[in-house]
Amino acid sequence: MKRMLTAAALGVAGLSIVAAAPVAIADPAPSTVTCGTYGLQSGLSTKVCAEVTGENVQLFGQVGLAGPPSPGGPLPQPKPLIMHLSGNVAGVSLGAVNQNSVFQNATIKVSGVGGTVACGSTIHGSFSVDSYQWPARPVTIDLVIPC
């Protein structure tokens, strides 16, 4: 009986050692962010970027002040914006997002377009901003997904 208890205790101790052994976790693939050229739309600075992690691509657009306000001058008035973000790979849509927002002098980020893209493919992204009396002038990005 004593032997059985000792064997059971050693078995439990062995399981405890195995359970406590460190588990190897693979490092996540590094992300890189690439942006197209800046543009001026609705009196604001805009850009479209692609964040690539392995074969996963997420597009995002940003709109912010084109420069700092004049010293001692008033801040720009809040401005209602209609923002459009879209993307495709060889004509196949990665999605599109339309977002309404009021710009109040803080950068706005629009995201939600992307997916898995085969390496070597070229993604195309577009971001535009409409505001009353200011026409949209889309900014774009074309990026080859590295292998």
- Count of Cβ atoms closer than 10 Å to residue 100 Cβ: 9
Note the pLDDT of residue 5.
47
Residue 62, domain CATH = 2.60.40.10
Query: What separation in angstroms does the CA of 59 have from each of 12, 38, 64?
Result: 51, 15, 17
Number of domains in the chain: 1
Note the pLDDT of residue 28.
66
Residue 76 is assigned to a structural domain of this protein: yes
Note the pLDDT of residue 77.
82
Note the pLDDT of residue 65.
87
The Cα 67–Cα 70 span in angstroms is: 9
State the Cα torsion 45-124-145-48 to the nearest 10°: 10
**Ranges under pLDDT 70 in the chain:** 1-28
Note the pLDDT of residue 16.
47
Note the pLDDT of residue 143.
94
Residue 5 is assigned to a structural domain of this protein: no
Segments forming the whole domain that contains residue 36: 28-144
Note the pLDDT of residue 18.
47
Please, what is the Cα angle at 108 between 62 and 76, to 5 degrees? 110
